[in-house]
Structure 1
Amino acid sequence: MRAPASLRRFGPTTVAIACLLIAIPAASQTSLDDPLDARDAKRLDRMEKVMRELRAIVFQSQRQSGVPIVVQPADTDARLQGISDRLGDLEQTLTRLNGTMEALTRDLDLTRRDNVALKAQVADLATRLTALEASGAPAPAAGDAYGAPPAPPPGVDPAEAFSAARQLMLNGDYDGAERAFAAYVADYPDGPRTPEARYWLGKTLTVRGEDTAAAGAYIGAIRGWPQTAWAPDATVELARALVALRKPADACQTLGELGRRYPKAPVAVKNRAAATAAQARCG
């Protein structure tokens, strides 16, 4: 069956679309509720005839080409959807990166505040020890060109060497105090105040950011868990150094020993221990 002469010069697909555009409005103008008169019936017959012709043309075109007629979705919509999905992934990645940067910024701010507080604490602890101890030691001798006292000759009183090192710390000379306490530990490895000298040595190393050496000094200071005024603070300082060295499990274990070994530690020490535990994410 052939298409009408007016449509015969177009391709089969164009004919089908054109006839559908013509037929649908015409069909929509006929009310289903009203009875059809003779004129409308003839018009409907003609429309059905045209539809049969169009169907025959489509089927004939499919048989000749051997390719089924399939309506494909617009490629533009698929690409837009892909771009939208990629943008969503990028937004999630940026959100995660922003969260990580904020956490790093907070940790850096905490570290800076801790360093400032540590310097003040060193001065405060040294002052209190000076007031509590009545050693009567004379003022330290003049140091060398770098501010550190020379190595004590044989027969020098260990109390004088300890007081000289501590005075350097009180004066804010942390480099000189570090060298002086290191010399004291080397010269008097078995002295009664050597653990305390290791504790103060750890303090000077912490101020300078040498966490590995500081941790070693604190370990030497609290070996045997001495019952001294500075031991609880040395334990917390060791935990803080371990956190800085990315060893949170060891830091948490050290803080656990603090509560067991020094249950009567000062409130300030306990507060710093709690802050360190939160930073290490102890369970």
Structure 2
Amino acid sequence: MRRVRLRVLGLAAGAVLLSAPPFAGLAFAQTPMDDPLDARDAKRMDRMEKVVRELRDIVFHAQKTGAPVVVQPADTDARIAEQASKITDLEQTLTKLNGTLEAATHELDQAQRDNSALKNQLKALSDRLSADEQKMAEAAAAAPPPAPPPPPEASPQPADNKAAAADAFAKARQLMLSGDYDAAEGAFSSYVTTYPDTTKTPEARYWWGKTLMVRGDNIKAAGAFIGAIRGWPQTAWAPDAVVELSRALVGVKKPADACETLAELKRRYPKAPAAVTTRAAAVRAQAKCA
């Protein structure tokens, strides 16, 4: 209703402008009003003046060109209609995006379920394979005893024999320090065979076991370490030999024996270096000791 009144007022004002001199409308628009207007009345007056100017331009244009007067729809209504159309398009786009997102979410949930089922199948297969490997290892090798018996008394060695033994041990140790583990393994093995009863024989067995562990021969390495710690010698390398024996036992699928050996480490060598106890804890976790 308000728009109709404004348009009527606009048409009336336009008629007045047509009958008056060309500058009469301009004089009217520029004449200040005595009464103050609030913000709403000022906006209404602005719209009325705009309509009057538009009507005047249309009539003047028609007078000059002789073309029929065509009243275009209000610019505000056209913009509102345009924005409404854009909003409708946006709503349709959002609806499509929501549908696509729901489909992708469903596919992701399905993929996660499939992945979980596949993990369970792989775990079951891995458990079966581990059980089969353990049975094969138990059938292939006997379990070494965790607690070695006391060492035999070393027989006296001639002076020249002692010198040859010392020289052979030094050469084998140098080969290992240089990184030639294959040659060091042969040298320590030869030393143990040639000099089975010297004071250096237990240590030679220890280093021999180290070279065997590098090659992955856990069964022979376990035997070498057992010979090295027989009698639980109080030497600097003995605690590490116990840890290495435990590692070899884990390698041949004997975790229970490894746990027993690690228990003896704490009892036999309570002052073992921190580096050795740290490695022992790692082996204990690997063997799943209680």
More relative contact order in 1 or in 2 (CA 8 Å, sep 6+)? 2
Normalised to the residue count of structure 2, the TM-score between the two structures is: 0.47
Structure having the higher helix fraction is: 2
